[in-house]
Amino acid sequence: MIELRNFQYMFYGFSAAWLIIVLYVFYLVRRERRIQSELSRLKSMMEDRDKKAI
Amino acid sequence: MREKAIYFMGTLGVLILMRNLYVILLQLGDEMQQGAIYRIFFFHLPAATTACIMFAIALVASAGFLITRKFAFDTAAAAATEVGFVFATMNMVTGSIWARNIWGIWWTWDARLTSMFILWLLYLGYLIMRPAIEEPTQRATLSAVLSIFAFCDVPIVYYSIQWWRTQHPAPVLTTPGAMDPALWPPLLLNMLAMLLIGLTLMMVRLRQERVLREIDSLRRYAHAI
């Protein structure tokens, strides 16, 4: 019984370690998308302004 | 080329971790007193060393910013702190699960755990503070000061188990003969793997910070004209 409980908690520990890395990677990917779309929006806005100025 | 090197580093780290899972789970025997649960050690300790290395990078970068006033240092400090925080969280969560099984409690306010929790809170404060300050120079200066202050807790965390009597076990790495020689190779490999993953994440985060700075300057330019 003790051995089984040991394995159960070991599994929780390993899962938690991997899960934290995976969640952070997802967070980075989401932020990357958001940043890139914001950058392209700003660049196109600046281009539009330049065209109007000309 | 640089992108490929970054992703190669991360992939190598993950592959080493996966290969090590085989060694840890199937080749190493159970520990006499703790049984299977001691294997959490192979994630718990490397997470702590990676976090400390990241916080040390943040410390050097923060000092670099205060000396030179170059924003590249601030960017590096922010990236290293965030990744270090992730690994510090991993260290605390795996430690808590281990404690629940061995001590019968999830948490205790002993010197090691408390100093680690304070360290975690200090860097959480750093991460919360940064987006709250709009002016870049002020943000970078305050962040650098907080980062240097927060790092003062790292030696306290490290030496806490020598300075005070704690529930947390005494150091095994620096005590000769405290650890079975068979455990060293997987432990060192896991430390290397986590460091590689940490550096990869830091590089990705660093690139994001640079783009954010570009966005910031574009916004200011758009407001100015």
Look at residue B45 in the predicted model and tell me its pLDDT: 95
3-state secondary structure of B35: strand
Look at residue B24 in the predicted model and tell me its pLDDT: 92
CB contact under 8 A, B93 and A17: yes
CB contact under 8 A, B215 and A42: yes
Look at residue A2 in the predicted model and tell me its pLDDT: 52
- Structural domain includes residue A54: yes
- Structural domain includes residue A5: no
Q: Is the per-residue pLDDT at A4 higher than 80?
A: no
- CA-atom Rg of chain B in angstroms: 20
Look at residue B171 in the predicted model and tell me its pLDDT: 79
Angle subtended at Cα B128 by Cα B122 and Cα B134, rounded to the nearest 5 degrees = 130
Q: pTM, whole model, 2 decimals?
A: 0.93
What is the separation of C-alpha B146 from the centre of its chain, rounded to a whole number of angstroms? 17
- Probe site for chain A from B21, B91, B94 (most A CB atoms < 10 A): B94
- Cα B197 from Cα B81, distance rounded (Å): 14
- Cα B64 from Cα B77, distance rounded (Å): 9
Look at residue B119 in the predicted model and tell me its pLDDT: 98
Interface residue B217 vs chain A (CB under 8 A): no
> Who among B39, B86, B219 is closest to A42 (CB)?
B219
CB contact under 8 A, A17 and B101: no
pLDDT tens string A11-41: 999 999 999 999 999 999 999 999 999 999 9
Interface residue A30 vs chain B (CB under 8 A): no
> Who among A7, A17, A32 is closest to B90 (CB)?
A17
> What residues make up the domain containing B91?
2-224
- Structural domain includes residue A52: yes
Closest to A24 measured CA to CA, from B76, B124, B84, B132: B84
Total count of domains within chain B: 1
Query: In degrees to the nearest 10, what's the CA dihedral of B154, B160, B161, B165?
Result: -160
Question: pLDDT digit of tens for each residue in chain B (225 aa)?
Answer: 788 899 899 999 999 999 999 999 998 888 888 888 999 999 999 999 999 999 999 999 999 999 999 999 999 999 999 999 999 999 999 999 999 999 999 999 999 999 999 999 999 999 999 999 988 899 999 999 999 999 999 999 999 999 988 888 877 777 777 788 888 999 999 999 999 999 999 999 999 999 988 898 888 877 776
Interface residue B81 vs chain A (CB under 8 A): no
- Structural domain includes residue A53: yes
**Whether ipTM exceeds 0.85:** yes
- Structural domain includes residue A46: yes
Interface residue B23 vs chain A (CB under 8 A): no
Look at residue B3 in the predicted model and tell me its pLDDT: 84
Instruction: Return the DSSP state at B31.
Output: B
Total count of domains within chain A: 1
Look at residue B198 in the predicted model and tell me its pLDDT: 97
- Structural domain includes residue A16: no
- Structural domain includes residue A28: yes
Look at residue B100 in the predicted model and tell me its pLDDT: 94
> What residues make up the domain containing A30?
21-54
Q: Which residue of A has its CA nearest to B42?
A: A14
Residue A18 token pair? 């991997």
Interface residue B214 vs chain A (CB under 8 A): yes
B111 within 8 A of B161, measured Cβ to Cβ: yes
Q: Which residue of B has its CA nearest to A4?
A: B36
Residue A35: list chain B partners with CB under 8 A: 208, 211-212, 215
- Structural domain includes residue A13: no
Q: Which residue of B has its CA nearest to A29?
A: B204
Interface residue B35 vs chain A (CB under 8 A): yes
- Cα B105 from Cα B175, distance rounded (Å): 26
